[in-house]
Amino acid sequence: MTEANQRLVELASLFTRLGFTAFGGPAAHIAMMHDEVVIRRNWVSEQHFLDMMGAVNLAPGPNSTEMAIHIGAVRAGWRGLLVAGFCFILPAVLIVWTLAWAYVQYGATPQADALLYGVKPVIIAIVLQALVRLGQTALRSPLLMAAGAAVFALYLAGVNELVLLFGMAALVAVIMMAQRGLTGQAALLPLLSLNTLAVAAQQAAPVTLNQLFLVFLKAGALLYGSGYVLLAFLRNDLVVQLGWLTDQQLLDAIAIGQFTPGPVFTTATFIGYLVAGTPGAIVATVGIFLPAFLFVAVLNRIVPTMRRSPWTAALLDGVNVAALGLMAGVTWQLGRAAIFNWLTALLAVTALIVLFRFKLNSVWLVLAGGAIGLAAWGLAGEIPLTTLELYK
């Protein structure tokens, strides 16, 4: 087997496994990828990983999926781009597709409380490990430390994440250039833009595959934020304008995306199946993920160039620390929901010690946490959960 083909096999194996086991949303997904490709395999450096993380935060679409695609492109070119992205998405699509069939047949979503009870504290530990390691590279000056801390505090205060991301990136770039005496230099920052794809406003409109594709293509091309932003985005099109779903069906679809592994954008698979069966599931899934592949194909060529220019390198540093601040803020919120009794606290602390002391593959910790959650459920009969939301 040639080296190029060997790299494709390695990418397929890694991202298929992550697709089946990556619970916890983008922050957790990216933390697990960091563990695999930086710490365990040394495919990319800490700085390069940070720069890719900054790039995916600048572009709309599913951040963790775009990170998988970036890694594939760096490791094995355009074929790696396709293999990594496809293998990360496919497991979640198959799981959600099966759950959509069960939902249509039996009219209810499966219960995931016990599994998430054990998985969520482990996810918090995995993200904390990634934050520490990435922070050692990103927070290399008092300015960058202050910027990251400010983003963390402002996010918890309720400031919009896009305002923090782009505003802090611009502020850090200006300050760093002023410190270097380069404020008079002009710089060009490659920006991506897409025209909004219009979807005709109708009430209880007949379902067509073309229109279904456009609805989800628009979401994939324009959407920033968490699964709850996706909820608001899709509600306007699918519930209010087209009348294809009820509010309850949309909430059930988002819930399915939240507690299954992989990207929450596989909610599209669930909705597509509900409104148009198997063809709808395929069309909606392709529509929402297609922009991610196109964005990465362009950004992957730009990131190294951005690091070589003083202005854009400073901007990228600002994006990186802002992204870490947002990641820390989400982790704090999730941690408060995930760690609420002695067993969840013990799981989180144990996982953190194992990660730093023994460097065990994080996938095994996720599986162990899920198994402990199921065992605890079986012994106690019930678990006093607070909230089941895992933001993706």
User: Is 209 within the bounds of a domain?
Assistant: no
Q: Note whether residue 243 is domain-resident.
A: no
Q: Is the pTM of this model over 0.85?
A: no
Which single residue is written with the structure tokens 């000056």?
141
pLDDT at 225: 53
- For residues 248-287, one letter each, b for 16 or more C-beta atoms within 10 angstroms of the residue's C-beta and e for the rest, the string is ebbebbbbbbbbbbbbbbbbbbbbbbbbbeeebbbbbbbb
Q: Express each pLDDT in 186-226 by its tens digit.
A: 333 333 333 333 333 344 578 889 999 999 998 888 776 55
Tokens of 363: 């996938």
Q: How far is CA 250 from CA 160, 235, 297, 316, in A?
A: 24, 7, 31, 36
Is 231 a residue whose pLDDT tops 80? Answer: no
Determine, yes or no, domain membership for 32: yes
Q: Write down the H helix ranges in 22-141.
A: 26-34, 46-58, 63-106, 113-138
Q: What is the DSSP string of 243-278?
A: --S-HHHHHHHHHHHHHSSS-GGGHHHHHHHHHHHH
The number of folded domains in the chain is: 1
Span 264-280, pLDDT tens digits: 788 899 999 999 999 99
pLDDT higher than 90, residue 13: yes
pLDDT for residue 313: 79
Residue 316 lies in a domain: yes
Among 96-110, 128-142, 292-306, 313-327, the least confident range? 96-110
Please compute the mean of the pLDDT values over residues 32-54 and round it to a whole number: 91
Comparison of pLDDT for 204 and 65, the residue scoring more: 65
Residue 294: the pLDDT is 93
Residue 12 in domain? yes
The rounded distance, in Å, linking the Cα atoms of 19 and 101 is: 20
The predicted structure's pLDDT at residue 191: 33
**Lowest pLDDT segment from 174-178, 266-270, 334-338:** 334-338
Distances (CA, A) of 277 to 110, 131, 209, 373: 20, 41, 10, 34
From the CB of residue 201, how many other CB atoms can be counted at a distance below 10 Å?
A: 11
Interval 74-129: pLDDT, tens: 999 999 999 999 999 999 999 999 988 887 876 655 455 676 688 778 878 877 88
Residue 321 reports pLDDT greater than 60 = yes
Which of 77, 181, 136 lies closest to 324 in space, CA to CA?
A: 136
Q: Exposed, middle or buried, 192 (CB in 10 Å: 0-12/13-18/19+)?
A: middle
Domain with 350, as residue range(s), is: 3-189+293-380
State the pLDDT at residue 345: 93
Identify whether 203 is part of a domain: no
Give the pLDDT of residue 251: 66
Q: What is the mean pLDDT of residues 145-163?
A: 87
Element (H, E) at 330: helix 310-338
Average pLDDT, the chain: 81
Q: DSSP letter at 241?
A: I
Q: Which of 5-19, 185-199, 309-323, 339-353 has the lowest mean pLDDT?
A: 185-199
pLDDT recorded at residue 193: 33
- Confidence at residue 55, expressed as pLDDT on a 0 to 100 scale: 84
Give domain status of residue 9, yes or no.
yes
Residue 337 to residue 386: CA distance in whole angstroms: 6
Whether 373 has a pLDDT exceeding 70, the answer reads: yes
Lowest-confidence region among 19-23, 159-163, 269-273, 353-357: 159-163
Classify residue 160: in a domain, yes or no.
Answer: yes
Residues 63-77, mean pLDDT to the nearest whole number? 93
The more confidently predicted of residues 189 and 247 is 247
Q: Rounded distance, CA 104 to CA 272, Å?
A: 12
